[in-house]
Structure 1
Amino acid sequence: MKTNQLFLLTGLATVALPACVQKDKKEVPEKPMNILYIMCDDHSYQTISAYDQRFIETPNIDRIANEGVRFTNSFVANSLSGPSRACLLTGKHSHKNGFTDNTKRFDGSQQTFPKLLKQAGYQTAIVGKWHLTSDPTGFDYWNILTGQGDYYNPYFIDNGEKKQIEGYATNITTDLALDWLDNKRDKNKPFCLLLHHKAPHRTWMPDTCDLDLYEDVVYPVPETFY
């Protein structure tokens, strides 16, 4: 099983609570809750130790799983890179949102959940991998990798301006998101931030400090490898 979407949903699970379990209107929080959605690209469940401890340890992801919600029986409408994002944004199957494969161009004029949140008073932002060809719409701030993105010294498009940033894609993506959270948003408004990582999509290149991390580890070849 491989899915392009990794849900780290401590915040989103909390956002859903008022509608699901709070029947008394007096209990509904007065202040809207912030939403942070983190997506890893092509991250298999076998390489998240909250699900499978045979191959790797992922303590930070595991902490979020332990303190939030861990899905054990979930499905995706389309597990390809761009189409999965189009499904996420629109809530529609690929044949309805028009982005059926990575050769298409996403129609940004259609309704998306960031647009609805903006109408509700949220600040919206996306940082990292986009891979939908057209420019993002419905976001107050967007800073996206070009195409699939590169791991080392990648190019980003910062609200329309293309810039090359020195460093490793995962670190840069995280730093850009933190910079928006800390310095660029209106802190009087609730926010929805989509944080989309390129890793661990092929070509599976780690940060240079981790190149030899598993040098002494031997992984068995799966029976179905060939």
Structure 2
Amino acid sequence: MGASERVVFRGVTFRRYPDSKNWADRWYFTPGVADRQRGVGRLHQEIWKAANGSIPKGHHVHHRDENPLNNDLDNLECLPGREHNHNHSADSSPEVAAARLAGLVAGRERAAEWHRSEEGRAWHREHGKRVWDGRQAEVFTCEQCGAEYQSRAAQGHNRFCSNNCKTKWRKASGVDDEDRACAFCGNTFRINKYAVARACSRVCGQGLRRQRAAS
């Protein structure tokens, strides 16, 4: 994203990137990934929260003078999200709205391209290592066999105590099943998408083999 500007507030580093093609990255000071994961918001949000407490659900912290770089407390107010969005949209022509949408789409495409790049993959490897090394093991219950096990992986990635239990659960749940047309009789049958079977039954399988032998 190019050169950045850095601000430290209450021990957290926030950055913005004046040369970024992404509007939000240019104008808002944002914390790093690890801080965002533990709930730290953008600089203006954290300044308002430090003085007033948590932001009510469905509300946004608004810059009174419409200048995102003016993060003085007196310039910040908390508004219902609908009112905040309406205030901004009322000042935007259809052309500006279309340009903003195009910018968001382009930004997502550039972000996806960066994440696929060698630089992006290297960043993810290093970030994953830092997060993994600092994570404490927790006790989870396997959804398949009911056994308790320990893991440092996050809750959303911890459902099974082993790959064997994961495979059993997927087969039993039918999550990988698909409909196929029997290559012998033409009837539709349901089967795991990773299975190689082309016939709906043993009888049809034998008939299919006889067809191949005769051809």
* Greater share of residues in helix: 2
User: Whose relative contact order is higher, 1 or 2, with alpha carbons under 8 Å and at least 6 apart?
Assistant: 1
TM-score, normalised relative to structure 2: 0.24
TM-score, normalised relative to structure 1: 0.23
* Greater share of residues in strand: 2
Larger Rg: 2
